[in-house]
Amino acid sequence: MTSLKAVEQRAKIIAKNNNDLNQCIDKNALPKNIDVSLSEGIILGLLKQNVRKYFAIFGHGSTDFAEILRIYEEQGVTKTYNFRNEVEMAHAATALRWQYNEVPAVVTSIGPGALQAMAGSLAASSNGVGLYHIYGDETTYGEGYNMQQVPKREQDIYGKITALMSESHVFHTPESIRDAMRKGYLKTKHPYKAGPFYFMLPINTQPKVIKGLNLITLPGRDSLELKNNLNDDQVEAFEKIINKYENIVIKAGGGSVKFSKELTEFSEHLNAPVVLAPGSLGVLPDAHENNMHVGGSKGSISGNYAMQNAKLLVSIGSRSVCQSDCSGIGYPNAETVININADLSDMMHYNNTLGLNGDIGVILKQLNSALQSKKINRSNTKKNWIEDCRKKKKEWNDFKNRIYQNEVLKDDAFGRDLLTQPAAIKTAVNFSNKNKCVKFFDAGDVQANGFQIAEDNEPSDTYTETGASYMGFSASAILASAIADKPKYPISFTGDGSFMMNPQVLIDAVYLGLKGMVVIFDNRRMAAITGLQYAQYEKEFKTNDGVEVDYVQMANSVKGVKGFFGGYNSKEFNAALEEAYKFDGLSVVHVPVYSGTDELGGMGAYGSWNVGNWCENVQAEYAKQKI
């Protein structure tokens, strides 16, 4: 066991060198080889990767690690934030990396806490967000069952479970830290397939001393970038294919969000419509004439028209998720695919594909340059196709306006006229955009209507967790804005069901000092599933509890949180949003919304989905696809 005095001295040296371990090494402020416990070694290794923020719920499986964090925080090197629920904590950490690009570490004890944090990490795994999870683990001596371990006579159970979710390392041997840090660095900083990395810390190995740990060998300065250009044959093949077809559609997947400028220019060179995925809102400004908005099983009139009538699909940074490509039948007339993707397996998802593998930004810049200089000639420039798509976008906008104008309907559960969910979401979206807030949409009907309604100009305007569609994500995620170095005002758009998945946000928001807003769109049911049941079977079953909850009173019961009632029309709702925005802390706005079968009560669905009694038809159509 190392001396705590020595730990404190090292932390002081690092603090005096701007909390920069690399600087300490370069200036010989610290020896290159030091004797440290596994706990301190991990903190130093992560510090070299610029990980300084820890999200923690400590227990008996993490006391040694917590003690080292305490010393480092006292010297101002790291900062630890404690939470009340591991799922909530995992979501907040995911948002800190996703929104603010700060890499944190989530710390829990052994057992249920670790399992809950891992469940929450599904959002990070599904959306390609790189961060660390550090869990206590059973001892390596095998002296008998450890309390809260998986009750099975087998080693490394948690390591196996977390490896299935993403990638992990079990510290059975503390000296394996160099390998662990390199694996973690590669996963959390991966240029196109990032995700959570899990360190499993057996209780008894945390305080064990690593003799002569070489700080130089711990990663942190390595560049992980793809820089390859296309060769002449690929450029020639691209030119040949784009000149074969007039009806070209560009599908902008989640991997395209960092390349908004390049993708916009690309669509203009090709004069081709762009269809968005739920996670790529704002890649093109909403008003851009080539932006056909969202396509998929919960798409738009214009987005799905472009998908259904295209002969050539240019897929950019997409995993081709089932909802986004209508379970494989979203492009019934497409004959060929050009797929620009860094990941080989995603690139070859479709048949008849010209795969352009590499960094999306590099490839788009190369193609844009070649198109602009006429090295690539685009000879097939008929305007009928793009004009037809633009007419469909006008039809979509006209449809949305009709929905918004009919802002109230009689609701059976509440027994009175209520705002429709589209009208309420549109009011909140307009308010958010006017005040330059960041929108977080939670899973369910709020999310599905939300990405159809949101009209963004930048990818950073909205975060919608469509990868795992994790209920409770948005209210938890906005906690990251209390921790970020340069926070922006966040608004959580959540349904009543999603909010109740993580209501402890009310308490943690006060503790962390969050200034933000949660808007609860309350229809007393799981409206997304109710709607699906009606669409498929014309009957609702067990998706409605009808229990009345006073969310304003719930919010006001927590000192430091302020609740507001959102009213029954857009004027009252907007006034409530204005008052809530002025509050110096977390505000909660409760707005009851209509749920029912009236077609004016929702945004509708424009695609296919391989679920329920639709499966037979969708699968039959899938067999006919050319791509």
Per residue in 85-108, pLDDT (tens digit) is 999 999 999 999 999 999 999 999
pLDDT at res. 218: 94
Residue ranges of domains in the chain: 4-217, 232-394, 413-595
pLDDT at res. 461: 96
DSSP state of 312: E
pLDDT at res. 140: 92
> Taking Cα atoms as reference points, which of 487, 448, 454, 489 lies closest to residue 584?
489
Using CA atoms, how far apart are residues 214 and 217, in angstroms rounded to an integer?
A: 6
Q: What is the pLDDT of residues 286-329, one digit of tens each?
A: 999 999 999 999 999 999 999 999 999 999 999 998 888 999 99
The larger pLDDT score, comparing residue 224 to residue 585, is at 585
Confidence of residue 606 (pLDDT cuts 50, 70, 90): confident
Confidence of residue 538 (pLDDT cuts 50, 70, 90): confident
How many angstroms from the chain centroid is the CA of residue 138? Answer: 31
pLDDT at res. 380: 63
Confidence of residue 541 (pLDDT cuts 50, 70, 90): confident
How many angstroms from the chain centroid is the CA of residue 271? Answer: 30
Confidence of residue 543 (pLDDT cuts 50, 70, 90): confident
Query: Do the domains spanning 4-217 and 413-595 agree at the CATH topology level?
Result: yes
pLDDT at res. 525: 83
pLDDT higher than 80, residue 572: yes
Using CA atoms, how far apart are residues 469 and 447, in angstroms rounded to an integer?
A: 9
Confidence of residue 392 (pLDDT cuts 50, 70, 90): very high
The owner of tokens 């949180």 is 561
pLDDT at res. 536: 86
DSSP state of 584: S
Q: What is the pLDDT of residues 12-71, one digit of tens each?
A: 999 999 999 999 999 999 999 999 999 999 999 999 999 999 999 999 999 999 999 999
Q: What is the pLDDT of residues 112-145, one digit of tens each?
A: 999 999 999 999 999 999 999 999 999 999 888 8
Confidence of residue 157 (pLDDT cuts 50, 70, 90): very high
pLDDT higher than 80, residue 381: no
CB 132 within 8 A of CB 103: yes
The structural architecture, per CATH, of the domain 4-217 is 3-Layer(aba) Sandwich (3.40)
Return the CATH number of 413-595, one of 1.10.540.10, 3.40.50.970, 3.40.50.1820, 3.90.180.10.
3.40.50.970
pLDDT higher than 90, residue 405: yes
CB 573 within 8 A of CB 419: yes
Paired tokens of 606: 């424009």
Confidence of residue 490 (pLDDT cuts 50, 70, 90): very high
pLDDT at res. 1: 65
The larger pLDDT score, comparing residue 483 to residue 220, is at 483
**Arithmetic mean of pLDDT, 402-421:** 93
- Per-position DSSP letters for 43-68, written without gaps between them: HHHHHHTT--EEEEE--TTSHHHHHH
Confidence of residue 505 (pLDDT cuts 50, 70, 90): very high
What are the helix (H) ranges across 171-255? 177-188, 232-242
**Arithmetic mean of pLDDT, 522-539:** 86
> Taking Cα atoms as reference points, which of 406, 416, 382, 435 lies closest to residue 574?
435
Q: In whole numbers, what is the pLDDT of the chain averaged over residues?
A: 94
The one-letter amino acid code at 570 reads S
pLDDT at res. 305: 97
Confidence of residue 262 (pLDDT cuts 50, 70, 90): very high
How many angstroms from the chain centroid is the CA of residue 307? Answer: 24
The structural architecture, per CATH, of the domain 232-394 is 3-Layer(aba) Sandwich (3.40)
**Arithmetic mean of pLDDT, 200-212:** 96
The owner of tokens 């409206």 is 527
Using CA atoms, how far apart are residues 137 and 122, in angstroms rounded to an integer?
A: 20
The larger pLDDT score, comparing residue 441 to residue 444, is at 441
Q: How many CB atoms lie within 10 A of CB 378?
A: 15
Q: What is the pLDDT of residues 267-276, one digit of tens each?
A: 999 999 999 9
